[in-house]
Amino acid sequence: MIKKPRISESEIGIQDPVTAGMYDRLARQLRDWGWNGVREMLSADLGSGALLELGPGPGYVGLELARQLGSRSLTGCENSPLMVRIARKNAAEYGMAADYVVGSAMALPFPDGSFDCVVSSGSLHEWETPRMVFDEIWRVLRPGGRFCVTDLRRDTAVWKQWLLWLLVRYRPLRTGLQSSMAAAYTAPELTAILHQTRLSDAQVRRTFLGLCICGVKS
Ligand SMILES: C[S@@+](CC[C@H](N)C(=O)[O-])C[C@H]1O[C@@H](n2cnc3c(N)ncnc32)[C@H](O)[C@@H]1O
């Protein structure tokens, strides 16, 4: 098997409102089909405490999860102000008082031990220094708090990548999908990164399209 080298992607994310609107529609569709990773997160025994989502984009993953878990509160930390506006609109549609802040997951603007669980979906491959984010997750979790991070996997079978490409009908998003896939990590790469962090006990599991990293702050 030929190993493709990882090609990093910028953290800036989607900047123009038209592409952001397309991403919002796609994320909504994936939520409606139940294909946005919420099911994997639900199996991580996250509990119903204060929930933090990193890189929520339009927010559907955290909103859906908070609704199903009955979370006490939902906070999102997202570096794109455009996405924060969309997430706030979507939270209002859910009738949820979610708090979205513009900020970087690499330097979370929250005190130590503020959350019972931390989740993130599809954002990890964009983080400039994942090691810093994993240590930040550890810092903002209370002892015994849980985390679950899901993302694409660069060594996903080609036929599955084609399936995804067909699902994403908008041209700018297809380009984004290809660069995201190229920037995604493999399970051994992530295991090596996690070993350099305070979340070294995390479990890294391959899923149909990607990876699921879960654990507890001991
Ligand atoms: C591909 S989108 C995924 C959005 C959403 N979680 C989903 O599953 O549909 C990745 C999101 O992560 C955000 N992001 C990337 N790096 C980040 C960082 N260091 N801190 C906070 N947000 C970040 C991007 O702005 C973008 O909205």
pLDDT tens figures, 93-112? 999 999 999 999 999 999 99
Among 31, 106, 123, say which to mutate for ligand 1: greatest number of ligand atoms within 8 Å of CB: 123
Q: Which residues line ligand 1 (CB under 6 A)?
A: 11, 13, 27, 54-57, 61, 77-80, 83, 104-106, 121-123, 126-127
Question: For residue 137, how many C-alpha atoms fall within 13 Å in the half-sphere facing its CB?
Answer: 33
What local confidence, expressed as pLDDT, does residue 218 receive? 87
| DSSP assignments along 142-154, one per residue | EEEEEEEEEEE-T
Question: DSSP 3-state assignment of 42?
Answer: helix
Strands 203-206, 73-78: pairing is unpaired
The Cα–Cα gap between 161 and 8 comes to: 18
Low-confidence ranges of the chain (pLDDT < 50): 1
Per the structure block, which two tokens stand in for 107? Answer: 């330097």
How far apart (Å, rounded) are the C-alpha atoms in residues 59 and 90?
A: 7
Domain range list for the chain: 17-216
Query: What is the CATH number assigned to the segment(s) 17-216?
Result: 3.40.50.150
* Substitution site in 121, 126, 129 for ligand 1 pocket (most atoms within 8 Å of beta carbon): 126
Contacts of 13 (CB under 8 A, 6+ apart): 57, 79, 80, 83, 126
Note the pTM of the prediction, 2 decimals. 0.96
